Amino acid sequence: MAQEISDRRDMDFVLYEQLEVEKLIKHEKFAGFNRKTLDLILSEARNLAIKELLPINAAGDREGCRFENGVVKVPESFHRAFKLYREGEWIAMLDDPEVGGQGLPVTVALAIAEYFNGANCAFGMYPGLCHGAGKLIEVFGTQRQKQLFLKNMYTGKWGGSMLLTEPQAGSDVGALTTSAVRNPDGTFSITGNKIFITGGEQNLTENIIHPVLARIEGAPAGTRGISLFIVPKIWVNEDGSLGESNDVACTGIEEKLGIHGSATCSLTLGGKGKCRGLKPGWELAFRGFQWPAPPICMR
């Protein structure tokens, strides 16, 4: 029976013959790579996909996620796979080595992602959201924010998500009601409810870093007044250690056909008035369709 993920010969044809990746890696930015190293990396990715991720796909979907006393438990088989994924340093494979990445060309990283997503899409959402949230901090965060969050996110010690949709707003992002009030210490008090949050709660990582869309008190209505905040599940102290719970509560998980192993959560922020967020160095404000292009991981 043929494998359910991309054929290696097809992958080699697209990368080497059609896209001519060997010409790309002659650029000084990719001086540490050659055809042999790329072949080895692709083979390791395919082995992980076939031997670890694909076999737990159906089982993980049957078991699904469980919501117990405010805690989301992912399928048991996902824990070993996530550990191996972390050890292989696959989360930050396309990122600069200076921030903990492997420095692979994006083209090759996307080919590898095809293996992983083809083998187990539900599993792939956890490291995928972690990378997306980390990339946002890498590109738009302050130097201090990068120091506090990036290493733990790019190694998978901490997870990530994206808090956008709200019950009363749906796809109309400008109708969100989550609010942010500036505190004297420079943080913001965050209050609101979010739904359909992939990886919003899970028991794979010791912390989850949530990028949250909210409106600062006094900001204009609609998408023009939206700002983005870094909201940890557990507050991160100035020395990088974990502090107290940051008042981010999961109120339930939702069903999505075919990806029951992926925790799709509803979250309440600031239910006890103790949720704090940090504003990235560059404020991500939406202006219709005229906002800057996002990093590659978010396209």
CATH of the domain at 192: 2.40.110.20
In a domain, residue 235? The reply is: yes
In a domain, residue 38? The reply is: yes
Same domain, yes or no: 94 and 198: no
Q: What is the mean pLDDT of residues 184-191?
A: 96
pLDDT at 212 over 70: yes
Same domain, yes or no: 59 and 122: yes
In a domain, residue 57? The reply is: yes
Domain that holds residue 227: 158-287
**3 state SS of 163:** strand
4-18, 74-88, 272-286: segment of lowest average pLDDT: 272-286
CB 125 within 8 A of CB 262: yes
53: number of Cβ within 10 Å: 26
Q: Which of 195, 202, 215, 183 is CA-nearest to residue 76?
A: 202
The predicted structure's pLDDT at residue 188: 97
In a domain, residue 198? The reply is: yes
State the Cα torsion 101-130-229-265 to the nearest 10°.
Answer: 180
Counting Cα atoms < 13 Å in the Cβ hemisphere of 92 gives 25
Q: Give the total number of structural domains in the chain.
A: 2
In a domain, residue 115? The reply is: yes
Residues 6+ apart with CB under 8 A from 183: 189, 276
pLDDT at 2 over 70: no
Domain boundary among 131, 150, 169: 131
pLDDT tens digits along 229-254:
999 999 999 999 999 999 999 999 99
In a domain, residue 142? The reply is: no
pLDDT at 261 over 50: yes
The predicted structure's pLDDT at residue 1: 41
CATH of the domain at 89: 1.10.540.10
In a domain, residue 148? The reply is: no
Same domain, yes or no: 217 and 283: yes
The first and second tokens of residue 21, run together, are 């990746």
